[in-house]
Structures are given as structure tokens and as C-alpha cells.
Amino acid sequence: MEQLIPLDYSTLRVVWWALLGALLVGFAVMDGFDLGVATVLPLVARSDMERRVVINVVGPVWEGNQVWLITGGGAAFAAWPLVYASAFSGFYLAMMLLLIALILRPVGFKYRSKLEAPRWRSAWDAVLCGSGLVAALVFGVAVGNLIVGVPFGFDAQTMRPLYEGNFFGLFTPFPLLCGLLSVCMLAMHGSALLLWKTDAAVAARARSVGICFALASLVLFALGGWWVAHGLPGYTVTSAIDPDQLSNPLSKTVAVVAGAWMHNYARWPAMWIAPALGLGGALLAALLLAARSAALAFISSALSVAGIVLTVGFSMFPFLMPSLLTPNASLTVWDASSSRMTLWIMLLVTGVLLPIVSLYTAWVYRVMRGKVTQAALGDAPHAY
């Protein structure tokens, strides 16, 4: 049956690595501005009406944007089951914290305007802000831990993941830097959206806040890049690789070498596009926000977010989840995937459904185009 599949195993693995990256970029860009808007809510809105304006910017679209996270999680589960199992075992408490934040967010959207009592609304506004901040921080800390390595291994007989870390061990200096970068870049992205979609005082405050977060993202991303290039241990496969072999993460040898995460840029110089987008997009977003060029500032912030996410993927390739405990058990593109048949069937399904979802999303944003103003909310009984 597998002889009928037109793509070889190694090609399918790379395709799914690229698709997973695209889904993560889609989530960071699309749902990222939702989290960013929630994070900056108390900084850009002071009255109840101003907070309603901010919430209604993302209110009609946040549920659809969650599809990117669900799709990315589903793709990781089906295409990279060992990564999914190891990550959810190791990051269990962090995942629970993330899920609590993501569960409270829709509750905040739905219940915030059910009562007019100021304390009721202020409490839900705090929940929305906290959920956005916590989610952005946890996502960044998780990525930072992937870069430094996760303390896990495998039982050689059962291939059951064995995790030896703890919740507080996730918050070491470099992952915390990544968490702060995640918060700042999403706050930049959300602020750019608010400048584009609102007016008056809210837009003015969003512009000032966005400039600060854009510059902070630039500095933190540059600092992280310097840290990776000058001393942070990276991982490299030292044994021969058969990209068409059956998945078995214990069939290779891995060395931990300072600066190893920079090796791919020497091998494939085109990868420098990603960090260039991360740095250049943040700088350009700050300049365009200062110039009040809202649409271009939002596009620039989106490019910066995409560049930062892609930089992580390009730097770590072919690693998906390095093992700090047992480097040889690190999960890579070549030894952590599902079967060739599974990847092919999923690719066919994705090729049909992903364009449909993308077209529907584009249509929704076209329908919801235009600014959200206080006057418009006064005539909208179904607004938040």
C-alpha cells in the first residue's frame, strides 16, 4: 500500500515539520493579537466604554483564531506522537496553568457585560488581562525550555517517556527571557491592531504602548540571539542519519555543544531571513506606530512575530524536543514521526480542509472590517 504514496518518508517528514511550523506561525499571528489585546487592556482603556471598545475589537474573531491552536495541537498529536506525549508529560503543570488561562478567557468575554456593576466588570477585565498575560508567558517559557533542553528520556523496553523535572525548574533565566519576549511581542501585535481598529484616546494610548513593546521585543530578541550564539549549549546529531528509517529516537548519538543552534545558518544562509524579519519587523513596527501608519504597523508586527517563531524552528532543525537528561534520546524530525501512511493521509486531509478554513477566516475578517467606535457600540445590542 505504501508503494502507492508518491512522496518518500523523509520528504513527508519535512513537509509536516514545515506544516507544523506554519500552524504555529498562524497561531502566533492570529490568536497572538487576541492575547496581546487582553494583555494591554488596562494600559489603553480607562473607562468602561473604552474597555468595551477594546474587547469588541477581538470579540467577534477570537473563537475562530483558537482554531490555529487546536489545529496545531492536533497536528502535533497525529504527526509527532512522541513529541506530544513527552511534552504533555513534562509540561503537565504548565499546561494546566495554560489551560486555566485559556478557559477563563472565553468566560470573561461571555460574562463581562452580563451585569453593569463596576466591580463585576472590573473583575472580569482583570481576568481577561491576566489570562492573556499568563498564556503568552507560558508559551514563551515552554519554547525557551525546548531550546535549552527538557529533562526527559525513554524506557528502553516500553518507550514510555520518563520526565525528571519539576514545575519551578521550567523558570530558569533563558526560558524566562523567552517568556518576556513572548509577552512583549504579542503586546506589540495587539497594540498595533488597536491602533488600526480603534480611534480617539484608545488608539493614541495603543500607539504609545505599542512603540514601547516593539522596542522591548527588539531588545529581548537581540539579547536572546546573542545568548544563543555565545555560550548557550545547543544540540547536534553526531551519528549517521537515515531520514527514511522507522521512528526510533534511541538509534542516534547527540552531542551538546555551545553555539550549536547557529550551525544551520552556516549550512543554509537563507535561514537568516527569519531573524532578520524578527528584528526588522519589530523596528519597523515601532517606526510605523510612531508615524501613525496603522495597517502597515500591524503587518510589520505580524512579520516580526512570524520571524521570531521561525527563528526557533530554523535554529533547532532537525530537533523537535532535545533531551537535557539523555541527549541521545532527543526527538528529531527523522525519528519522532508517525508512519509514512499516516503522514500521507493527514497531508491529503489538510490539503482539502486548510484552504477552506483559510478562505472562511478571510471572509470573516472582511465582514468585520472597519473601526470599532463608541458610537457603533451604542447601536449594537449584541456587542460585548
- Tell me if 383 is assigned to some domain: no
- Residue 22: predicted pLDDT: 92
pLDDT tens-digit profile of 111-151? Answer: 888 888 889 999 999 999 999 999 999 999 999 999 999 99
Would the pLDDT of 75 be above 90?
no
- Residue 129: predicted pLDDT: 94
Write the DSSP symbol of residue 150. B
- Tell me if 378 is assigned to some domain: no
SS3 8: coil
- Tell me if 371 is assigned to some domain: no
Residue 174 pLDDT level (bands cut at 50, 70, 90): very high
- Tell me if 93 is assigned to some domain: yes
Q: What is the rounded CA–CA span in Å between residue 214 and residue 216?
A: 5
- Tell me if 1 is assigned to some domain: no
Cell of 220: 529581548
Question: Among 246, 242, 136, 249, which Cα is nearest to 182's?
Answer: 136
Q: What is the rounded CA–CA span in Å between residue 145 and residue 151?
A: 9
- Strand 331-332 vs strand 319-321: parallel, antiparallel, or unpaired? antiparallel
- Tell me if 60 is assigned to some domain: yes
Burial class, 366, CB count within 10 angstroms (exposed 0-12 / middle 13-18 / buried 19+)? exposed
Kindly state the average pLDDT of the residues 244-248: 85
pLDDT tens-digit profile of 204-217? Answer: 999 999 999 999 99
Q: What is the rounded CA–CA span in Å between residue 72 and residue 81?
A: 13
- Tell me if 376 is assigned to some domain: no
- Residue 78: predicted pLDDT: 87
Q: Which residues pair with 321 in a beta bridge?
A: 331
Going 372 to 373 to 379 to 383, the CA torsion angle's sign is positive
Q: What is the rounded CA–CA span in Å between residue 315 and residue 302?
A: 20
pLDDT tens-digit profile of 3-30? Answer: 667 888 999 999 999 999 999 999 999 9
Lowest pLDDT segment from 108-122, 155-169, 262-276, 315-329 = 155-169
Q: What is the rounded CA–CA span in Å between residue 145 and residue 135?
A: 15
Residue 88 domain boundaries: 7-239+248-366
Specify the amino acid at residue 221.
F
Domain count, the chain: 1
| Portion of the chain with pLDDT greater than 90, in percent | 57
Kindly state the average pLDDT of the residues 180-208: 95
- Tell me if 112 is assigned to some domain: yes
- Residue 254: predicted pLDDT: 93
- Residue 110: predicted pLDDT: 85
Kindly state the average pLDDT of the residues 253-272: 94
Residue 283 pLDDT level (bands cut at 50, 70, 90): very high
Contact 317, 17 (CB under 8 A): yes
Instruction: Give the Cβ contact number of residue 358 at 10 Å.
Output: 11
Q: What is the pTM of this model?
A: 0.93
26 φ, ψ (degrees, to nearest 5): -60, -45
- Residue 43: predicted pLDDT: 95
| Portion of the chain with pLDDT greater than 70, in percent | 97
Q: How far apart are the first and last CA of the chain?
A: 53
Would the pLDDT of 292 be above 60?
yes
Q: Is 294 left (phi over 0), alpha (psi -120 to 50) or beta?
A: alpha
Would the pLDDT of 235 be above 70?
yes
- Residue 192: predicted pLDDT: 96
Average pLDDT over all residues of the chain: 90
